[in-house]
Structure 1
Amino acid sequence: MTTTEQTARHGSAVWAVIITSVAGFVTALDNLIVTTALPSIREDLGGGLEDLEWTVSAYTLTFAVLLMFGASLGDRFGRRRMFLIGLGIFTTASAAAALAPGMGELIAARAGQGLGAAIVTPLTLTLLSAAVPPERRGAAFGIWGAASGVAVATGPLIGGTLTEHIAWQAIFWVNVPIGVVLIPLSRLLLDESHGPNSRLDLPGTVLASGGLFGVVYALVRGNADGWTSPSILAGFAAGAVLLPAFVLYELRAENPMLPMRLFRSRAFSIINAASLLMFVGMFGSIFLLSQYLQTVGGYSPMEAGVRMLPWTAMPMVVGPLAGLLSDRIGGAPVVTVGMAFNAVGLALWAIAVEPDVSYTALLPALIVCGIGMGMFFAPSANLVMSTVRPEEEGIASGANNAIREVGGAIGVATLAAVFSAQGGYESATRFVDGLVPALWLGSGAVALAAVLAIFMPHRRTAGASGSPALSSSGKAG
């Protein structure tokens, strides 16, 4: 390869890192950016509590249930092409949300954002993996992981700041110029690629989407509707029937959306189970802790976000370093330690939190959680991609992201249920009474994830070598 070709390839890789990281940032950001704007939205558009809840869950539900289908679309019609279409849908839906005259229109626009994000998110990893040489993927995934991690954690801060100083519509308008810039850059600077399958797995898509929708809907709505209400029981029943049916169908399908052979790899199975548990603890805890700083601490949405910066800013520093470290020693040890840090950090929160505790007493927990989150995001993404064949990276990425989103929904619903059972919003003391056991549950979930991660093969895999990782039996996973 000539010097000119090497320079061109390096430049292409750099642009791929920038484009996919920014796209991953904005789609991850919209998970939580709306939470601190809800009071202003209700004051402006009206509606009841259920409407506000759907403003959040319409995005999460659509995002979670269509992620694997988005990856399949990329494999079938071209990953760059579908990436552009997904960006177009997300950008248009963001503008529609900002212009929404009522709650119904806003909820529909949020679902449209979720559809666009479900197409974009899994393709960010496959496009990045195709553009970056294997020996540099750890660092590239480190940057991508840091961007996505910061987006999840800073959503309330950015949403609160924009709402407080501009208007709630600004939380959606901010996506529009980003999309307008990314679309032509992606068309010019990213290479096209396809997956191995020429046909879409429509039956598998219907079964997986229906089953995930039932479970996530029931978990999101359980506290509001009652866990024994007909709609919630129907959601769980749909998941209990459709998800096993999906597995059975995929075992026999000629062109499965999610080949069950992927789970023969011990590393693939464990990293996905650990990711689900990690998001249970992390998402549920962020949801409650951001409210604690405002409800008990008395801070405004923006002030609360600023005080969470020791947590939220840490992945920007730790993520790239963790990616480089994973290239040297393998991703499994880094992910395991990162999860352990998160479990310890949440435990420190549970021990330190009091109605009148000082902010400085909470700083150690913030910092430890930030370090752990930074050590998790990048190496875990690299581990997922390294356990499958290159042509299966799209479906593996979609499956992992769907599992993470479902974990987030489980975390918010479960920790909120514990909080409601033990405490409430009546006073600072009641809030802390509910928060402490919820944090211990979140810490326990992440600790279990760290224990699972110990059993991953601790070796350098495809992220460094470019070949499929070996399963515990020594055969290609």
Structure 2
Amino acid sequence: MRKWLPLVAICLGAFILLVDVTIVNVALPSMASDLHASFTSLQWVMDMYALALAALLLAAGSLADLFGHRKLYAIGLVVFAIASLGCALAPNAAVLITWRGVQGVGGAAMFATSAALVAATYHGRDRGVAFGVWGAVNGAAAALGPVLGGLLTQGFSWQAIFLVNLPIAVVAIVLTLRVLPAGKRGTGRLDVPGAVLFTVAAAALTYALIRGGDHGWTGGLTLGAFALAVLAVVGFVVAELATAHPMLDLSLLRRPTFSGLLGGAVLFQAGAFGGFVYISLWLQNILGLSPIRGGLALMPLAVASFVVAAAAGKHTHRFSPALLVGGGLVLVGVGAGIMWQSVSAGSHASSLYAGLAVMGVGVGLSTPVLVSTAVEAVPPNRAGMAGGAVNTFRQLGMSLGIALFGSIFTSRLRDVTRHGGSVRAGYAAGLDRIFLASALAALAGGVLVFLTVRRSRGDGTPQGAPAPEPRDLAVEGGLSPSSPRP
């Protein structure tokens, strides 16, 4: 059993950081009441965390390659715990949003290192089992968030959803320092311009989507934010091409499997989880469910994703990654499509169950192999970068999904109520559009993955491709003893 203690340490951190992506959902009505928060503030409570994760994961991956994965993972746990306490003590929405951003900083350090730590600690058949368990925790954590959030909010208060992180983080820190391999420092340096420009691009785009939904798409600030996002993306590309130590090696995008997985990751997270916050608001504000019952209404996704991910982890080597990831995305789309057809103004929570269960099967199939396939699709000295990039694009999909779906939701709600419809009908109409958008996003992601992703033979080269030339790993930098080796 001792050989699995490192996996426990890694999974504890992964669990709390991913639970906090969605645990806030069912607590939003209580937060809005206690903190007198607006709808836009509620969006930022959700989005600031996902945005910080997305914006900083690549930079955190570079830091991990330089200073060691275990060290940065432990630092991330400490920052995450302190920020969780700050969230619980927040006196108003602005302070809460700020601490959520700090939580994202700690979460990025943890998320950027967890896959590399699993790969460094386990080998052979144990690695497949470990990635299966890690993937099951990843898939179930976000899905379990609303359930745990409901239990804690109704049983104690919304502050409890943050305080519960503290004892878990303490246990994870102790285990990390005792049982995880220390690793060694790598070479190279942090790509500061790339990190700054990527952060600006992600923040500006998210802000533009949220503001556009609230104040219109032709306003000066909205258009200015879109323009800033475009300029930052262009600057990021220029900066990455100009530096010898890029945060994201753009040459990796020439590998169809890797670039396809990045696109699939964005569409996966947006399609599967981007609409959760609005489902939770409908369940509590319109259907009148308690936080616990609102969380339990989402259990079909949580249960299905955990069971399927745990079972699939033992057999992933038998199937092509495209079948698992692409097939999972298609099922997410089908599940969203079922809810699109099922939910109406007269619906109850039970109308969600079938669609959520199908979506959960898709999440369970995709999650365990999404990151591991990306890691195997690139050279070993780029494994940390690849894992960080896929998780970055997942959280970027979450952040953009919340922002875009919020714009769709509020626009539809206003249209219906402005023309004499009830608020209940407006909520149902907003969810209708969100489910349709989720289905289209996930299905598009599935098609993309089927067209681009091929099985790797373990050295970052797709099967059938010529072997790469020998490379000077010391010159390229970023290789640490904790990086997975072929």
TM-score by length of 1: 0.91
Contact conserved, 2:261 with 2:453, CA < 8 A, in 1? no
| Distance in structure 2 (CA, Å) of the matches to 1:115 and 1:381 | 20
SS of 1:324 mapped into structure 2: coil
Contact conserved, 1:330 with 1:461, CA < 8 A, in 2? no
Which position in structure 2 is the counterpart of 1:420?
Answer: 410
Deviations 1:28-49 (A, max 9, x none): 1111222322333343344544
Which position in structure 2 is the counterpart of 1:187?
Answer: 177
Match of residue 384, structure 2, among 381, 394, 397? 394
Residue 270 of structure 1, CA deviation: 0.5
Contact conserved, 1:264 with 1:471, CA < 8 A, in 2? no
> Residues 360, 91 of structure 1: CA spacing in aligned structure 2 closer, same or farther, 3 A cutoff?
closer
After the TM superposition, which residues 196-215 of structure 1 pair with which residues of structure 2 at under 5 Å, given as runs? 196-215=186-205
| Distance in structure 2 (CA, Å) of the matches to 1:219 and 1:461 | 40
Contact conserved, 1:339 with 1:450, CA < 8 A, in 2? yes
Residue 54 of structure 1, CA deviation: 3.2
**Paired amino acid for 2:82:** T
**Paired amino acid for 1:224:** D
Q: Bigger shift: 113-122 or 406-415?
A: 406-415
Residue segments in structure 2 that go unaligned for 5+ positions in a row:
470-486
| Distance in structure 2 (CA, Å) of the matches to 1:402 and 1:333 | 23
> Residues 190, 84 of structure 1: CA spacing in aligned structure 2 closer, same or farther, 3 A cutoff?
same
| Distance in structure 2 (CA, Å) of the matches to 1:44 and 1:290 | 18
| Distance in structure 1 (CA, Å) of the matches to 2:425 and 2:274 | 20
Is 1:139 aligned with 2:135? no
| Distance in structure 1 (CA, Å) of the matches to 2:318 and 2:72 | 34
| Distance in structure 1 (CA, Å) of the matches to 2:221 and 2:239 | 26
**Paired amino acid for 2:140:** V
Contact conserved, 1:457 with 1:472, CA < 8 A, in 2? no
Q: Bigger shift: 317-326 or 289-298?
A: 289-298
> How many residues were matched structurally?
463
Contact conserved, 2:45 with 2:100, CA < 8 A, in 1? yes
After the TM superposition, which residues 46-65 of structure 1 pair with which residues of structure 2 at under 5 Å, given as runs? 46-65=36-55
Is 1:108 aligned with 2:104? no
> Residues 361, 57 of structure 1: CA spacing in aligned structure 2 closer, same or farther, 3 A cutoff?
closer
Contact conserved, 2:25 with 2:280, CA < 8 A, in 1? no
> Residues 109, 141 of structure 1: CA spacing in aligned structure 2 closer, same or farther, 3 A cutoff?
same
TM-score by length of 2: 0.89
Contact conserved, 1:138 with 1:379, CA < 8 A, in 2? no
**Paired amino acid for 2:435:** L
Which position in structure 2 is the counterpart of 1:470?
Answer: 462
> Residues 38, 363 of structure 1: CA spacing in aligned structure 2 closer, same or farther, 3 A cutoff?
closer
Which position in structure 1 is the counterpart of 2:473?
Answer: none
Root mean square deviation of aligned Cα: 2.3
Residue segments in structure 1 that go unaligned for 5+ positions in a row:
1-9
Contact conserved, 2:29 with 2:285, CA < 8 A, in 1? no
Which position in structure 1 is the counterpart of 2:438?
Answer: 442
Residue 422 of structure 1, CA deviation: 2.9
After the TM superposition, which residues 12-51 of structure 1 pair with which residues of structure 2 at under 5 Å, given as runs? 12=3, 14-51=4-41
| Distance in structure 2 (CA, Å) of the matches to 1:362 and 1:283 | 14
Residue 443 of structure 1, CA deviation: 0.4
Is 1:252 aligned with 2:242? yes
Contact conserved, 1:71 with 1:395, CA < 8 A, in 2? yes
| Distance in structure 2 (CA, Å) of the matches to 1:11 and 1:476 | 38
Residue 104 of structure 1, CA deviation: 3.6
Is 1:267 aligned with 2:257? yes
| Distance in structure 1 (CA, Å) of the matches to 2:8 and 2:75 | 19
Fraction of identical pairs, as percent: 32
**Paired amino acid for 1:430:** G
> Residues 16, 221 of structure 1: CA spacing in aligned structure 2 closer, same or farther, 3 A cutoff?
farther
